[in-house]
Amino acid sequence: MHRNRNAKIVATLGPASSDRSTIQALFDAGADVFRLNFSHGGHADHKARLDTIRAIERDSGRPIGVLLDLQGPKLRLGVFSDGPVTLAAGDAFRVDMDHELAGDKRRVALPHAEIYSALEVGTELLIDDGRVRLRVESFGPEHAETRVVIGGRVSDRKGVNVPGVVLPLSALTAKDHADLDYGLSLGVDWIALSFVQRAEDIAEIKAIVGDRAGIVAKLEKPAAIASLEAIVAASDAVMVARGDLGVEMPHEQVPAIQKRIVRACRKAGKPVIVATQMLESMVSAPVPTRAEASDVATAIYDGADAVMLSAESASGQYPLEAVAIMHSIIAQTEADPYYREMMAARDDGAAALASDGIGVAVRGVAQALKVAAVVAYTSSGYSALRMARERPHAPIVGMTPRQAIARRLALAWGVYPVLCHEVVDVLEMSAWACRTASREGIARSGDTIVISAGIPFGTPGTTNLLRIAQVD
């Protein structure tokens, strides 16, 4: 089931896509990785969906990635005594730690001590995704006096964002720890960490996860963009969480930030997912808007490894159509000759590591000889990711003896993951690479393939071999 495209599709599962037939249809239509959003649903719901995914994987013989998305900290107001209040621009309004006292038009509880410790005069508090904005005029360790900048209706437990401030807050809540333990026990392949502000947040979760799953840093806060390179270096993959970025940053800055993140990930050879509202209208309509189709295509032209569907596939009325149309948009975009020009224009120049040199050489050989496939034999996924970084013209077959790595590689650009046995020498590896490319329908007898690997075998991060072989 080799897809006729390189960029991957991440589809979120939910109430509209929980049964076996729907998940099977989503996979057949083009979903490469399934997202389990732990902000919604119980553990039993997610286990049932994961069990279904694994059953489809066994039947299809193709590795499928599973992404667990942690909820992260949620900063919320308290409740109001007489229902919602309407704040007008210019009004004075107080927030404080007194969660037992119900709010009114003059004050409400904001029971998060971490916020007050990080405030400065002039800091803005965004209520309900920025629909209401407050500016801090004075503050103490348990309160802040603010002035309403943008007024509106405010009701119980609305979310609060504090842009431009690094909060002294772990990205992992008690709920996240419980969800993380459960997800790891199920064998998920990727963990998406919300509320990332700095590289230390990635180090914290990696200390728990180890090598049991890859870590995806969700970039949704301005503080994370300020530490972009360090976060990319610390992570295994990155998600451009455009919805939250659009709350905490001016909307007009988000497109440039998206391109900057994708470029940083491309340079580092880390998979990058562009997410949020990609085909939003398809929650309730069978076709997307032209602007949405253009949005997906733009992410592909930029070189994103994957694009993600959220509500469209989780709770929308047309989950199957959303995946099928996204697949079609990607395939059509990648067929455009300008797409290849864009990929070539993003060449980062001289290689700094031996593995990068092999990657550049493989890309050159693949283009010069018009090879049928690039085969990366890898135990850690590293060789395949270095090949994906170079965006070669030929499909990348990621051969690995580890099922967990095969599943993780389902997220990487252009990589067709294949589970194989351990090889002991270069000749055996070459023979298996040729047989695999032929068996999977990617190469035919007489075709040339180019192979990359690391010697000695089984040692992560040692991509140092390039071999050209002909399929019998």
**60-76: pLDDT as tens digits:** 999 999 999 999 999 99
Contact 292, 259 (CB under 8 A): no
From 275, 304, 333, give the residue that closes a domain. Answer: 333
425 and 462 share a domain? yes
- 389 catalytic? Reply is no
From 161, 195, 218, give the residue that closes a domain. Answer: 161
Closest among 326, 232, 439, 257 to 29, alpha carbons compared: 326
pLDDT tens figures, 269-279: 999 999 999 99
HSE-up of residue 455 (Cα within 13 Å, Cβ side)? 12
What mean pLDDT value characterizes the chain?
Answer: 94
CATH of residue 366:
3.40.1380.20
179 and 305 share a domain? yes
From 161, 194, 213, give the residue that closes a domain. Answer: 161
230 and 321 share a domain? yes
Per the residue annotation, which of 54, 76, 147, 467 is the catalytic one? 76
320 and 378 share a domain? no
352 confidence band (pLDDT: 50, 70, 90): low
155 and 175 share a domain? no
- 340 catalytic? Reply is no
CATH of residue 195:
3.20.20.60
144 and 192 share a domain? no
Contact 447, 371 (CB under 8 A): yes
Residue 42, in any domain of the structure: yes
User: Is the per-residue pLDDT at 379 higher than 50?
Assistant: yes
- 276 catalytic? Reply is yes
Residue 344, in any domain of the structure: no
Instruction: Give the dihedral of Cα atoms 412, 417, 421, 424; nearest 10 deg.
Output: -50
- 74 catalytic? Reply is no
Per the residue annotation, which of 276, 333, 378, 463 is the catalytic one? 276
Quick check: bond before 319 cis, omega within 30?
no
Closest among 332, 452, 457, 468 to 390, alpha carbons compared: 452
277 and 223 share a domain? yes
Q: How many domains is the chain partitioned into structurally?
A: 3
Residue 437, in any domain of the structure: yes
Per the residue annotation, which of 218, 221, 242, 386 is the catalytic one? 218
User: Is the per-residue pLDDT at 350 higher than 50?
Assistant: no
Tokens 């530490």: give the residue: 227
Question: How confident is the model at residue 345, as a pLDDT?
Answer: 67
HSE-up of residue 227 (Cα within 13 Å, Cβ side)? 22
Structural domain harbouring 109: 85-161
